């Protein structure tokens, strides 16, 4: 569980500061997503992970909108 929270922090902190997240964190995030897609099962994932994902998407969308970016760049 702490691994997921650390991953979320490593990705969201730079985004909130207006920077690109570290490549290692993005690779880890993509690999976790691909593992779920390949197995065609979400068994073992907690509801908290989905709540955190929703929070990250809200932050991402809010940042893009408040920064005045065109929707096509963050939507």
Q: What is the pLDDT of residues 27-52, one digit of tens each?
A: 887 888 788 889 888 777 777 877 88
pLDDT of 2 above 80: no
Q: Which two tokens stand for residue 63?
A: 């940042």
What percent of the chain stands above pLDDT 90?
0
Sign of CA dihedral 23, 37, 43, 60: positive
Mean pLDDT of the chain: 81
Residue 1 pLDDT exceeds 60: no
The sign of the torsion formed by the CA atoms of 49, 75, 16, 26 equals positive
């Amino acid at each position: 569980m702490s691994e997921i929270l650390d991953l979320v922090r490593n990705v969201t902190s730079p985004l909130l500061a207006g920077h690109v997240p570290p490549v290692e964190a993005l690779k880890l995030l993509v690999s976790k997503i691909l593992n779920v897609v390949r197995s065609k099962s979400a068994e073992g994932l907690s509801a908290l992970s989905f709540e955190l994902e929703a929070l990250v998407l809200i932050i991402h969308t809010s940042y893009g909108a408040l920064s005045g970016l065109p929707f096509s760049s963050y939507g």
